[in-house]
């Protein structure tokens, strides 16, 4: 039997594989369904037949997908769903089942956080709770008569009367058993990172998890329970070498925080250098987790940019959301990184408990003062399964139960004492204009574009920015 792993089509693209699961954002950021690709490769490594389709990246509609389904004839369709996309993804799943016959399963953060609720809300056959590589492999075997559905850890299913049944959770496994994602079946040239130097730029994962208690961050709470598991450096280096052979020009290490463990970082950096890999790459880092020696090691291995979470300039807000670092540490990290000739990217988040107009303005000016090369402004989103979601529900401050409103790029769905949702949403757009339309910044970027030959990148990103921010059309 063939198992299809699907990033579903839709009238708008959903970032289902990213940690915040939003719509098409202001820059057109487009990433591959990395976890689907790992699960597909894992099924294939166990002897199963796996196909993966990124219909969203390919721009397919249902008729285009139907033609491929008629060719593949899958017996099981595994569809990734984020909170914001889950209603449409479930509709696609049911359409596939009703028209082409396979059993259908939803996977991802949303159904992992709300498995029973998802089976009650959506008429799909299965949901996979937590990491699903092993669960899907066992499900495919059970559908072939090799095993029982009720014995598969991490699976949600229906009894003969259609009632939701949730099996015991699957223990976390050694991530080093998983093969390289099935990149060969993905349209690598379609993915887009607007701040990358080179394209295509493909994200990879070298670890899973994060130990920090950020109240809003969904994957560490829903999937990993605060644990961290690291891949060995050798397969990480081999994966990068394989991507280079496929024409990839840059890597983004999309771990929650790549710089968590010094030995993990240095082993990968030394492995890259010893293998002769010459490739630009960037990563996420925490401002309290870097120093000069570590950054110099990373730079020597090809790292040219660190993406730091700034979130807020207000000390009390940082404490409330569990960031456990200070604005002074943020200033120090940006200054140090810049002094080594590396680029920086700042991510800022508005709307946290205690936010006011004054704290947002102070955070914006603080961010500009950090002198990052790029900045991203978003709204804190209460994803199901997080402490922040539970706090809002318990206090009656959650403003929407419509999953399509859970969009951190442009939608505020929490009640604050001193700000309306519209004020927070408007300040996001204002922040983009204030940051990116400064004459000095524009001159700097134009100079950099001429030096690097990045005209195509500037036109593509700039056109989306103009549409969503300058022209006032939200990226929804």
For position 180, what pLDDT does the model report?
97
- Hey, what CATH topology would domain 2-166 get? Rossmann fold (3.40.50)
Q: What three-state secondary structure class fits 165?
A: strand
62: CB partners within 8 A, 6+ apart: 9, 92, 95
Strand 343-350: give its sheet, edge to edge: 201-204, 250-253, 280-285, 303-311, 343-350, 374-379
What pLDDT is attached to residue 17?
73
Q: What is the pLDDT of residue 221?
A: 96
The residues near 304 (Cβ < 8 Å, ≥ 6 apart) are 197, 280, 281, 282, 342, 343
**Cis amide leading into 200 (omega within 30):** yes
pLDDT at 474: 43
Every domain of the chain and the residues it spans:
2-166, 193-436
Tell me phi and psi for residue 181, to 5 degrees.
-55, 155
Tell me which residues of the chain have a pLDDT lower than 70: 11-14, 18-27, 450-476
User: What pLDDT digit, counting tens, does each position of 312-347 carry?
Assistant: 999 999 999 999 999 999 999 999 999 999 999 999
Is residue 3 classed as helix, strand or coil in its secondary structure?
A: strand
Give me the pLDDT at residue 10, please: 72
pLDDT of residue 29: 84
HSE at residue 306, side-chain half, CA atoms within 13 A, is 29
Cβ contact 10:85 at 8 Å: yes
Distance from C-alpha of 23 to C-alpha of 13, rounded to nearest angstrom: 6
Q: Which CATH superfamily is domain 193-436 in?
A: Aldolase class I (3.20.20.70)
Q: Which pLDDT score is estimated for 476? A: 35
387-416 burial, b at 16+ Cβ within 10 Å, e below that, comes to bbbebbeeeeebeeeebbbbbbbbbbbbeb
């Amino acid at each position: 039997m063939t198992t299809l792993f699907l990033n579903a089509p839709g009238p708008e693209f959903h970032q289902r594989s990213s940690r915040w699961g939003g719509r098409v954002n202001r820059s057109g950021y487009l990433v591959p369904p990395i976890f689907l690709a790992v699960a597909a490769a894992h099924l294939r490594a166990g002897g199963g037949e796996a196909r993966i389709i990124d219909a969203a990246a390919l721009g397919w509609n249902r008729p285009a997908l139907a033609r491929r389904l008629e060719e593949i004839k899958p017996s099981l369709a595994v569809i990734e769903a984020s909170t914001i996309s889950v209603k449409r993804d479930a509709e696609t799943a049911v359409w596939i089942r009703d028209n082409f016959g396979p059993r259908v399963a939803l996977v991802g953060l949303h159904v992992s956080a709300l498995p029973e609720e998802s089976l009650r809300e959506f008429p799909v056959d299965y949901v996979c709770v937590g990491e699903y590589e092993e669960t899907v492999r066992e499900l495919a075997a059970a559908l072939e008569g090799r095993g029982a559905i009720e014995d598969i850890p991490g699976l949600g299913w229906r009894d003969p009367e259609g009632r939701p049944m949730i099996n015991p959770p699957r223990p976390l496994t050694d991530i080093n058993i998983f093969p390289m994602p099935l990149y060969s079946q993905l349209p690598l040239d379609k993915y887009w990172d607007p701040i990358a130097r080179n394209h295509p730029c493909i994200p990879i994962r070298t670890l899973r998890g994060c130990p920090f208690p950020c109240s809003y961050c969904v994957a560490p709470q829903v999937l990993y329970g605060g644990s961290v598991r690291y891949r060995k450096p050798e397969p990480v280096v081999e994966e990068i070498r394989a991507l280079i052979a496929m024409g990839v020009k840059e890597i983004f290490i999309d771990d929650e925080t790549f710089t968590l463990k010094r030995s993990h970082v240095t082993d990968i950096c030394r492995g890259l250098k010893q293998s002769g890999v010459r490739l630009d790459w960037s990563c996420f880092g925490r401002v309290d987790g870097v120093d000069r020696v570590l950054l110099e090691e990373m730079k020597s291995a090809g790292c040219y940019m660190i993406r730091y979470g700034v979130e807020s300039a207000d000390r009390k807000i940082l404490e409330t959301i569990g960031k456990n670092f200070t604005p002074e540490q943020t200033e120090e990290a940006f200054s140090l990184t810049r002094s080594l000739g590396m680029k920086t990217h700042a991510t800022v988040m508005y709307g946290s408990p205690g936010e006011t107009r004054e704290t947002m303005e102070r955070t914006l000016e603080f961010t500009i003062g950090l002198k990052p090369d790029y900045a991203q402004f978003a709204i804190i989103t209460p994803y199901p399964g997080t402490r922040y979601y539970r706090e809002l529900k318990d206090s009656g401050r959650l403003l929407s139960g419509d999953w399509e409103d859970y969009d951190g790029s442009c939608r505020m769905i929490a009640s604050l004492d001193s700000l309306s949702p519209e004020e927070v949403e408007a300040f996001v757009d204002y922040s983009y204009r204030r940051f990116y339309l400064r004459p000095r910044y524009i001159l700097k970027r134009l100079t950099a574009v001429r030096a690097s030959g990045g005209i195509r990148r500037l036109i593509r990103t700039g056109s989306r920015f103009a549409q969503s921010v300058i022209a006032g059309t939200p990226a929804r």
